[in-house]
Structure 1
Amino acid sequence: MRLDMTCRAGHGGSEEPEAFTLGERRVRVTEILDRWPGVDHLYFKVRGDDGARYILRRDFEILVWELEVYEAAE
């Protein structure tokens, strides 16, 4: 699922997710739990201000952000 993403400058000037729109809801990223590179993507595991965890990925070629995994808050 493609996301409308707001980013901030992270380590070394690379983009880090700050907030995104999920449906009609705006989710603010409160914590970046992990990050790792893929072949064509950069992945972020984050916690949202709704307490849920998300895995987001940024496509290097077409420069879009996508939601890969959603895990509801306990």
Structure 2
Amino acid sequence: MDGSNIVVDAFAGDKGEETPRAFTLEGSRRTVSEILTRWYTETHCYFRVQTDDGYRYVLRHDLDNLIWEVVMGETTDDET
């Protein structure tokens, strides 16, 4: 899954920053239910998100090439 290009529906805020709301990965649409954290570098924005299907992903937005990628995906371990 590392480096998989994705199609992202994003919200552009007042300052022009883009925040992911949903994305399509491997033909399946996933809705972002929560942004857990975000961080920035000179060339990329990173978002660790929770989706409505119970998975967590790290999404990377390349600011120079305007490409979104999945950097990491994981399941939540809520079974206790």
Query: What is the TM-score with the length of structure 2 in the denominator?
Result: 0.85
Larger radius of gyration: 2
The question of whether the paired residues in 2 share the 8 Å contact of 1:3 and 1:67 is answered with yes
Higher helix share: 1
- Which residue, out of 50, 61, 68, partners 2:53? 50
Query: What is the TM-score with the length of structure 1 in the denominator?
Result: 0.91
What CA RMSD, in Å, does the superposition of the two structures yield over aligned residues? 1.2
Deviating above 2 A after TM superposition, structure 1's stretches of 4 or more consecutive aligned residues are 9-13
Distance between the aligned counterparts of 2:31 and 2:46, measured in 1?
17
Distance between the aligned counterparts of 2:31 and 2:60, measured in 1?
16
Report the CA distance between 1:8 and its aligned residue: 1.0
Identity among equivalent pairs (%): 43
Structure 2: tracts of 5 or more residues without a match = none
The question of whether the paired residues in 2 share the 8 Å contact of 1:50 and 1:73 is answered with no
1:16-35 superposed matches below 5 A:
16-35=19-38
Write the letter of the residue equivalent to 1:21: T
Report the CA distance between 1:40 and its aligned residue: 1.1
Alpha-carbon distance change, 50 to 66 in structure 1, aligned in 2, over 3 angstroms: same
Report the CA distance between 1:11 and its aligned residue: 6.0
Structure 1: tracts of 5 or more residues without a match = none
Aligned residues between the structures: 74
